[in-house]
Amino acid sequence: MRFIPHSVSRSSFLLAVMVLFACGAAMAQGPTYKLGRAPTDAEVKAWDHAVGPEGKELPDGSGSAVEGAKLFGTKCSFCHGRNGEGVFPWPKLTGGVGTLNTPNPIRTSGSYLPYATTIWDFINRAMPRDAEGTLSPSDVYALTAFILFKSAIIKDTDVMDKKTLVEVKMPNRDGFFPAIPQAKADKDHSWLPFWDQVKEMRKEDKAFGGN
Ligand code: HEC
């Protein structure tokens, strides 16, 4: 009997769904049905503003934690607490630095994310919840600075802008490593590649001080 790992069947399902969507997208612009149109450059720009680790997409503007504290108090503390400690059931944003490889890891924007630009991008795109898109670039720099300051990563007077934000070294920058490649199944498929991966992961864990 051949084993089929769960992950394989799940990924083929996902693939099928993606192919369906791809067909839908192609049809919407296809000549056959004369439906839809290609988005204009302005429309793509309004939507496509993801900010990567190099921060090339970051706009002008600046702010420090001193300014961010005021904004955070009025627009964010209701859900995230005065210092970003979180108000149940909303997430903690600050603290937890150095806890990720302990028995009680605390995952926050400060402790987990490898790049500070991701905090900027997330706030800019999705916060404050229910009033997304209302913050100016400088507001977002100030709020990002506040979260970094409250996680003890920068000083409260450090000004964040498109240059300095990229230079911030997040505490978990080196905590990510590439996924272990899928091991090959035995000739007779008598074991699942997954188990081998778990073994490898344990080894990696030990190397990183885990148990
Ligand atoms: C109404 C509640 C609410 C308000 C107000 C709010 N947030 Fe959030 N925030 C959330 C929720 C819920 C999440 C979890 C992600 C999601 O579901 O979008 C989140 C996630 C985040 C994250 C990512 C956390 C992570 O590491 O995954 C950041 C950063 C953040 N918020 C910043 C802010 C800032 C800055 C403000 C103020 C401008 C703000 N939020 C206002 C509810 C809120």
Q: Enumerate the CATH 1.10.760.10 domain ranges in the chain, comma separated.
A: 50-175
Answer CATH for 50-175 from 3.50.50.60, 3.90.470.10, 1.10.760.10, 1.10.150.120: 1.10.760.10
Per residue in 99-148, pLDDT (tens digit) is 999 999 999 999 999 999 999 999 999 999 999 989 999 999 999 999 99
Tokens 């991966």 sit at which residue?
197
**In degrees, to the nearest 5, what angle opens at C-alpha 53 toward C-alphas 51 and 56?**
55
Ligand 1 center–CA 76 separation, angstroms: 7
Which ligand 1 atom is nearest residue 76's CA? 37
Which ligand 1 atom is nearest residue 144's CA? 35
Angstrom distance (rounded) from CA 152 to CA 157: 12
CA distances from 5 to 110, 173, 185, 195 (A): 36, 32, 10, 11
Per residue in 50-99, pLDDT (tens digit) is 899 999 999 999 999 999 999 999 999 999 999 999 999 999 999 999 99
Q: What is the DSSP string of 140-186?
A: HHHHHHHHHHHTTSS-TTPPB-TTHHHH---TTTTS--PPPPPPPPP
* CB of 92 sitting under 6 A from ligand 1: no
* CB of 81 sitting under 6 A from ligand 1: no
* CB of 78 sitting under 6 A from ligand 1: yes
Angstrom distance (rounded) from CA 78 to CA 136: 20
Helical H segments across 48-153, by residue range: 65-75, 77-80, 109-112, 116-126, 137-150
- Amino acid letter for position 57: E
* CB of 194 sitting under 6 A from ligand 1: no
Which of 125, 118, 175, 167 is closest to 147 using CA atoms? 118
